[in-house]
Chain A
Amino acid sequence: SQTIHQWPATLVQPVGSPLSLECTVEGTSNPNLYWYRQAAGRGLQLLFYSVGIGQISSEVPQNLSASRPQDRQFILSSKKLLLSDSGFYLCAWSAWAGAYEQYFGPGTRLTVT
C-alpha cells in the first residue's frame, strides 16, 4: 500500500533563516506531488505541484520554492523566511488508478518568530 511521509512534524524558525521541508511517497511510481499551505485552520492553498522529476509548477508567487530531485521526493524550500510563511504545510500525492484521488501527508506546522 502507499504511504506518504513528511518531516519535520513541527518547526520553529527565526525570520530570515532558511527552510527545507521534505516529503516522500512509498508504494507508487511517478506520482503527481503537491505542496499546500493552510493558515488559520481553514482553507488549503495550493503552492506547487509536480507531474515528474524536475517539473515544478508554481501556483502562487511567493518566498518559497519547490524541487523534485527524485521520483517520489518533493522538497519545499526558502532562502529567507518571513513571518507570513508561518502555517501548516501539507504534501499530497495522486496517481492514476481510474481517477486522480489525492492523499495527504501528516503535515508540518511551521512557526516563524
Chain B
Amino acid sequence: GIQVEQSPPDLILQEGANSTLRCNFSDSVNNLQWFHQNPWGQLINLFYIPSGTKQNGRLSATTVATERYSLLYISSSQTTDSGVYFCAVEQADKLIFGTGTRLQVFP
C-alpha cells in the first residue's frame, strides 16, 4: 500500500520562530489533508490541498502532486501551535495517515 512519511518526527522551537514540515507519499493520491492534533487529542483541519498553495493566517501549505510531497509552513510560531501535525492522503475514499511531526513551542 501507499507509504506516507513525515519529517522531522520532532521539532522544538522558541516562540516567534518559523518552521517547515514535510510529507512525502509513495503513490498518486486523490487528495491530501493537513491536521493539527492539540494536546487534548482533537484533530483540527488545517488544509485540504491536493495541489497548489493555500494560506490561512500564519500557516500555509504547498502540495506538488507530480513530485509526491507536501509542505506545511508555520510562521511566527506560538505556544498554541504545539501538538502533533499529521498529513493524510486519500486513496479510494480512505485517508492514510503519516506518523506525524510533534511540535513543541516554548515561550
Q: Which positions in A face B, CB cutoff 8 Å? A: 32, 34, 38, 41-46, 49, 51, 59, 88, 90, 92, 94, 99-104, 106-107, 109
**Given A42-B99, A99-B48, 4 other A-B residues pairs in contact with their CB atoms under 8 A:** A43-B100, A44-B88, A88-B41, A101-B33
> How far apart are the CA atoms of A32 and B94 in the complex, in Å?
10
Q: Is the interface of A mostly helix, strand, loop or mixed?
A: strand
Residue numbers in B under 8 Å from A88 (CB-CB): 41
User: Do residues A107 and B93 form an inter-chain contact, with CB atoms below 8 A?
Assistant: no
Q: Which positions in B face A, CB cutoff 8 Å? A: 31, 33, 35, 40-43, 45, 48, 50, 84, 86, 88, 90, 93-97, 99-100, 102
- How many cross-chain pairs have Cβ atoms below 8 Å apart between A and B? 53
Q: Is the interface of B mostly helix, strand, loop or mixed?
A: strand
Q: List 26 A-B contacts (CB under 8 A).
A: A32-B93, A38-B41, A41-B84, A42-B99, A42-B100, A42-B102, A43-B100, A44-B86, A45-B97, A46-B94, A46-B96, A51-B93, A88-B41, A90-B43, A99-B50, A100-B31, A100-B93, A101-B33, A101-B45, A101-B48, A102-B88, A102-B95, A104-B42, A104-B43, A104-B45, A109-B41
